[in-house]
Amino acid sequence: MSFLINYSAVKRTFDISLSCIGLFLSVPLWILFSFAIWLEGGRPIFYIQVRIGKDNRLFEAIKFRTMGYKKKYSRLARLLRTTALDELPQLISIIKGEMSFVGPRPLIPQEIQMTKGFNLRSTVPPGLTGLAQVLASKDAPILEKFNYDISYIKNQNIGLDILLILKSFKISLTRKWDVINNGLK
């Protein structure tokens, strides 16, 4: 009898479990960040943007708002962005199945025209993190990021997912998401 493990089912179970743990542990941060954002600039607390998910379905990606009304970053906004804590609300998108912990970057609709071979990208859910997010610089050209996304899709496995999640946590803890060339070091 063969014990074939369905990668998609394992990945989905992993996504739901990790997201639920993340949501539970981060409740105090949600309250703190929401209150601090409200004190700094009022509402809205969240920034919502339409993104493209698996099978070209549109969904709303939600983040804590980091840009102030005067288009300036506050200390809180810099902390949220350099640690990627502004993306905590995307845990809800993962639970809903609109995203995964690891996958290609979630594109905005305007980027479809710029990414040749988009159909391959849309065969998997976009990720909170992935090869492009960890390896490419923030300012890398879209084509470079796209190539990382395709490489992930062709080579995805649970081991790679765990490695990318651990590297992402390390980058968050060292506050280096805004640093050029994060790399897998």
For residue 89, the model assigns a pLDDT of 95
Mean pLDDT of 42-64: 90
Average pLDDT in the chain: 84
Structure token digits, residue 6 = 């369905």
Backbone angles phi, psi at 48, to 5 degrees: -120, 130
> Does position 184 have pLDDT exceeding 70, yes or no?
no
Q: Which amino acid is at 101?
A: F
Q: Residue 68's pLDDT band (boundaries 50, 70, 90)?
A: low
Cβ atoms 100, 124 nearer than 8 A = yes
H or E segment at 146? helix 142-155
Quick check: helix, strand or coil at residue 26?
helix
Structure token digits, residue 19 = 């997201």
Q: What confidence tens digit (pLDDT) does each residue in 114-160 have?
A: 666 677 888 899 999 999 888 888 788 888 888 899 999 999 999 99
